[in-house]
Chain A
Amino acid sequence: MKLIKENYKLFVLLYFFWIVLTLDFQLTNLIIGLGISSIVSAMTKWILYDKSKFKIDTPMLLNVIKFFFRLMIEIYKSSFSYIVRIIKKDCEPIFIEINLNTKNPLIITMISNAITLTPGTLTVDTDKNKLMVLSIDDPTKKGTDLNKEIKEKYEEIF
């Protein structure tokens, strides 16, 4: 009980998700949801939560929504250009290193996730704030374009 009291935010969020996804208001379902979300929030105590607070700085919700919409636009834009590449059979992938300015692990994860979601680029490895990206970019430019693009599109939001 004490553990749940300490990280009640996660507990409330999990319970909300449970209710929305099941949409079943019978007593047994509500009790199962209560049990599972309390177990999960108790088990993540030392991973996500510390003694006093959330371990990771979370970005503002408005920025996350902005990021989501920009990501959707980027996914559809690059998917059409990728179809053209498939028809032309022009694909010479290269590895590109990208240096990000932030050191927040959550934002780095979100950006690398976004890179993998857009067709034509794929995050392979990370080393602190350096990302190794597999891309179908033109080899002669050596990835300066992609570096600039990602910084302007994604990192600027946060």
Chain B
Amino acid sequence: MIYKGILILSWVYIVFGMIGIFRFKNMYARLLTSSKIDTVAALTIIIAMIIKSGISLLSLRLLLIMIFIMITNPVNNHIIARSAYLNGINIKDEIKK
């Protein structure tokens, strides 16, 4: 029962993330919003699966996958933001949009 609630919470995160991507017009805000979906929503889904499977070897594997996601997921957002910053996309011009 609890895991269903947590799964619904993850859908809420995904829906609001998608709304945010279309709502904000400047690039950096969109980047921040997209990073929210693939960290928070993915973590929430995995936590729900861990609760569903209980104390077992499967949940240990899920925990390892979660740690792997936490280590590798920020890298893509970091690289997009860094390339935008190094290519000289001005943050003040973006805010005016």
Contact = CB atoms under 8 A, between A and B. Distances in A.
Contacts of A143: none
Interface string A70-92: 01100110010011001101011
B16 A93 contact: no
Contacts, number: 92
A124 B91 contact: no
Contacts of B43: 72, 75
Given A17-B64, A93-B26, A119 B57 contact: no
A117 B73 contact: yes
Interface string B58-97: 0011001000001101100110011001000001001100
Instruction: With a 10 A CB-CB cut-off, give which of A23, A87, A92 has the most chain B CB atoms.
Output: A92
Interface residues of B, number: 35
B31 interface: yes
A134 B70 contact: no
A122 B32 contact: yes
Contacts of A122: 31-32, 35, 77-78, 81
B53 interface: no
Nearest to B65: A21
Given A79-B13, A86-B20, A136 B61 contact: no
A129 interface: no
B92 to A, nearest CB: 9
A76 B62 CA distance: 19
Nearest to B13: A79
A116 B91 contact: no
Contacts of B85: 95, 124-125, 132, 134
Interface string B16-51: 110110011010110111011001100100000000
Nearest to A115: B74
A136 B31 CA distance: 11
Given A86-B20, A86-B23, A93-B28, A124 B81 contact: yes
A4 B96 CA distance: 57
Contacts of A75: 39-40, 43
Given A71-B70, A87-B16, A122-B35, 7 more contacts: A20-B57, A21-B61, A79-B13, A86-B19, A123-B78, A124-B81, A124-B82
Q: Which 5 A-B pairs have the closest CB atoms?
A: A116-B74, A119-B36, A86-B20, A91-B29, A93-B28
